[in-house]
């Protein structure tokens, strides 16, 4: 066999082995159940003195069967401490949630449960969706190191619960972040955060239609932050009301 052909075969073999190794190490999928998985959005800030108790409460929700997302906002940065986890897109989402809830303003800490403002979050986790049938079916799988694919199928056989249109968004959340705050209302405090939103990507708006037709969604995530467990979340909601139709949280090794 000519040297060039031998080299090409060796390269091809290495690529096949590498592909097989990745496939074996990253068989990571998640599928939704028959009832709606509760979705909690926490709007918080390191510059807000009343936010640490809410952050601590959010951390207590690990392994509770809910999708938790801590959106840090930056409108308290003017007090002297810039929240490094904040992004304008998170504030924009909070404004959208406020509009759907007919709120006059946005505030922190704010908890939102399945798209509805939840001012009594501190009384404990209430799961109104525990017996509420899912209005969408979701399967998410990892395709590559930072590539994910989902299949979303609206549920069309629930009398009185048909959805005219639905929307979706992806988030990457991470555990185990902390900050030693040097200024602002929390000056001198050592803050710990879990479920920190590091990426928020809207996945579009869709018509539900009369038939249960699957819709494929793709997502390219940011690279994992070493030392911080992360979750890949997909939330499907009613475009008009913001109510959760279904959600999935995927945590893959590596």
pLDDT in tens, 125-149: 655 545 789 999 999 999 998 999 9
Confidence of residue 233 (pLDDT cuts 50, 70, 90): very high
> For the residues 97-105, what does the mean pLDDT come to?
97
- In a domain? residue 54: yes
Inform me whether the pLDDT recorded for 241 exceeds 50.
yes
Rounded distance between C-alpha atoms, residue 140 and residue 250, angstroms: 7
pLDDT bucket at 211, cuts 50 / 70 / 90: low
Domain assignment present for residue 108? The answer is yes
Across 245-251, average pLDDT = 96
Assess contact for 228 and 206: CB atoms under 8 A. Answer: no
Is 141 part of any domain? Answer: yes
Tokens of 78: 């003017």
130 assigned to some structural domain = yes
Lowest mean pLDDT among 4-18, 29-43, 93-107: 4-18
Averaged pLDDT, 160-189: 92
Q: Is pLDDT at 210 greater than 70 in this prediction? A: no
What pLDDT was estimated at residue 189? 97
What SS3 state is found at 6?
helix
- 161 — pLDDT class (breaks 50, 70, 90): low
Cis amide leading into 109 (omega within 30): yes
pLDDT exceeding 90 applies to what percent of the chain?
A: 76
User: Within a domain: residue 13?
Assistant: no
Q: Is residue 168 part of a domain?
A: yes
Overall average pLDDT of the 184-198 stretch: 97
pLDDT score, position 26: 52
Q: What is the count of structural domains for the chain?
A: 1
What average pLDDT does the chain have? 87
Q: Is residue 63 a part of any domain in this protein?
A: yes
Per-residue pLDDT at 239 exceeds 70: yes
Residue 11: inside a domain: no
Q: Which residue has the higher pLDDT, 254 or 178?
A: 178
DSSP assignment of 147-201 equals EEEEEEEE---STT---SEEEEEEEEEES-EEEE--SSTTTT-EEEESSEEEEEE
Q: Provide mean pLDDT across the span 223-245.
A: 96
For 77-92, what is the mean pLDDT? 98
Q: Specify the long-range contacts of residues 16-22, CB closer than 8 Å, at least 24 apart.
A: 22/144, 22/145
Tell me what pLDDT residue 66 has.
95
Range of the domain at 176: 27-250
**Statement: residue 122 has pLDDT above 90:** no
């Amino acid at each position: 066999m000519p040297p060039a052909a031998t080299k090409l075969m060796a390269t091809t073999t290495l690529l096949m082995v590498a592909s097989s190794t990745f496939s074996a190490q990253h068989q990571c999928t998640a599928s939704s159940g028959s009832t709606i998985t509760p979705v909690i959005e926490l709007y918080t800030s390191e510059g807000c003195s009343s936010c640490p108790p809410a952050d601590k409460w959010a951390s207590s929700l690990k392994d509770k069967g809910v999708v938790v997302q801590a959106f840090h906002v930056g409108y308290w940065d003017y007090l002297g401490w810039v929240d490094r986890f904040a992004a304008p897109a998170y504030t924009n989402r909070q404004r959208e949630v406020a509009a759907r809830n007919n709120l006059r303003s946005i505030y922190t800490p704010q908890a939102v449960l399945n798209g509805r403002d939840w001012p009594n979050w501190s009384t404990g986790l209430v799961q109104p969706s525990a017996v509420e049938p899912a209005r969408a079916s979701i399967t998410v799988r990892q395709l590559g190191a930072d590539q994910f694919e989902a299949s979303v199928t609206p549920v069309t056989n629930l009398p009185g619960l048909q959805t005219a249109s639905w929307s979706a968004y992806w988030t990457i959340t991470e555990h185990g972040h902390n900050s030693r705050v040097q200024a602002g209302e929390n000056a001198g405090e050592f803050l710990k955060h879990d479920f920190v939103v590091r990426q928020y990507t809207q996945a579009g708006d869709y018509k539900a239609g009369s038939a249960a037709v699957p819709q494929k969604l793709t997502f390219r995530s940011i690279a994992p932050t070493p030392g911080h467990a992360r979750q890949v979340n997909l939330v499907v909601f009613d475009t008009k009301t913001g109510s959760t139709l279904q959600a999935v949280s995927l945590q893959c090794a590596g």
